[in-house]
């Protein structure tokens, strides 16, 4: 799997240099990065300028070539940032080692997302927070089918456009605390914690909604 991302590393910054990266929404989400922070799928580090200042962050990625491009950005960060090559599905960190785990457009790419979420759950301390900026399958019929069709070719370059990332996180044991729409019901800003789910506490975007709808429980 690293091969496709090693290949994409060459063109990644050019392909991704647009307003569609939603920097202000990411900044708002990343503001909650606290304590010992693990950022999974750091890529070429394009999100690093959106990180809050002065944090201590471990950034991992499966692709050494992505990490190579991320290193100058990590060095320019005002806090402390360590970059490591690692597989999200098989983390080498001990249980309960992080207070916050962050993903950004990564859960569409990790081959077995539920396995990765189980690893995130393991390495987060009880009460630790999962922050995700991710694109997912729309629940609108037409948009959902379009994303299914797109996935037929985007998966050839390592990206699935039609994942149910919120359900995958729940399956691994996370309690979802808020889901906010960044673009329709396709790009979401999601907060979750490692903790038990209580009854009536299961935030979702309204069904069939394709309208931006900020939502907190
Ligand atoms: C779409 S890119 C997003 C990169 C970055 N977060 C951004 O928004 O620019 C997905 C990233 O996930 C990484 N990735 C894919 N599978 C992975 C895995 N199993 N473990 C760790 N990183 C992985 C890829 O190498 C790539 O850098």
State pLDDT tens for residues 15-26. 776 656 688 899
pTM for this entry: 0.90
* Pocket of ligand 1 contains residue 87 by CB under 6 Å: yes
Closest CA to 60 of 35, 34, 30, 93: 93
- 11: pLDDT confidence band, cut at 50, 70 and 90? confident
Query: What atom of ligand 1 comes closest to residue 158's alpha carbon?
Result: 15
Per residue in 36-61, pLDDT tens?
Answer: 999 999 999 999 999 999 999 999 99
DSSP 8-state secondary structure symbol assigned to residue 215: B
* Pocket of ligand 1 contains residue 102 by CB under 6 Å: no
pLDDT of 21: 67
Helix (H) or strand (E) holding 178: strand 174-183
Q: Provide the 10 A C-beta neighbour count for residue 126.
A: 9
Per residue in 142-178, pLDDT tens?
Answer: 999 999 999 999 999 899 999 999 999 999 999 999 9
Report the relative pairing of strands 187-194 and 124-135 from DSSP bridges: antiparallel
Per residue in 66-116, pLDDT tens?
Answer: 999 999 999 999 999 999 999 999 999 999 999 999 999 999 999 999 999
* Pocket of ligand 1 contains residue 210 by CB under 6 Å: no
Query: What atom of ligand 1 comes closest to residue 63's alpha carbon?
Result: 25
* Pocket of ligand 1 contains residue 74 by CB under 6 Å: no
Task: Please give the mean pLDDT across all residues of the chain.
Answer: 90
CATH 3.40.50.300 for domain 2-14+22-194, yes or no, is no
* Pocket of ligand 1 contains residue 41 by CB under 6 Å: yes
Distance 9 CA to ligand 1 centre (A): 10
Distance 200 CA to ligand 1 centre (A): 33
Query: What atom of ligand 1 comes closest to residue 89's alpha carbon?
Result: 19
Residue whose CA is at the smallest distance from ligand 1 atom 7: 43
Residues 40 and 119: beta-carbon distance below 8 Å? no
Query: What atom of ligand 1 comes closest to residue 88's alpha carbon?
Result: 20
* Pocket of ligand 1 contains residue 70 by CB under 6 Å: no
pLDDT at 213 over 50: no
């Amino acid at each position: 799997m690293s091969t496709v991302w090693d290949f994409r590393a060459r063109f990644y910054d050019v392909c991704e240099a647009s307003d569609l990266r939603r920097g202000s929404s990411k900044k708002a989400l990343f503001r909650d990065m606290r304590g010992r922070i693990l950022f999974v799928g750091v890529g070429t580090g394009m999100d690093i300028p959106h990180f809050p200042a002065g944090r201590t962050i471990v950034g991992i990625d499966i692709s050494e070539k992505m990490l190579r491009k991320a290193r100058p950005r990590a060095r320019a960060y005002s806090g402390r940032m360590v970059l490591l090559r690692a597989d999200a599905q098989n983390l080498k960190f001990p249980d309960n080692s992080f207070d916050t785990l962050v993903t950004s457009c990564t859960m569409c790419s990790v081959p077995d997302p539920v396995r990765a979420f189980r690893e995130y759950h393991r390495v987060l301390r009880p009460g630790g927070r999962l922050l995700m900026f991710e694109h997912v399958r729309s629940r609108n019929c037409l948009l959902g089918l379009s994303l299914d069709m797109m996935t037929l070719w985007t998966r050839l370059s390592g990206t699935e456009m039609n994942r149910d990332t919120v359900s995958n996180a729940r399956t691994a044991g996370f309690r979802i605390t808020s889901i906010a729409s960044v673009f329709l019901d396709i790009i979401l800003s999601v907060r979750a914690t490692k903790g038990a789910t209580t009854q009536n506490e299961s935030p979702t975007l309204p069904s069939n909604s394709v309208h931006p709808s900020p939502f907190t429980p």
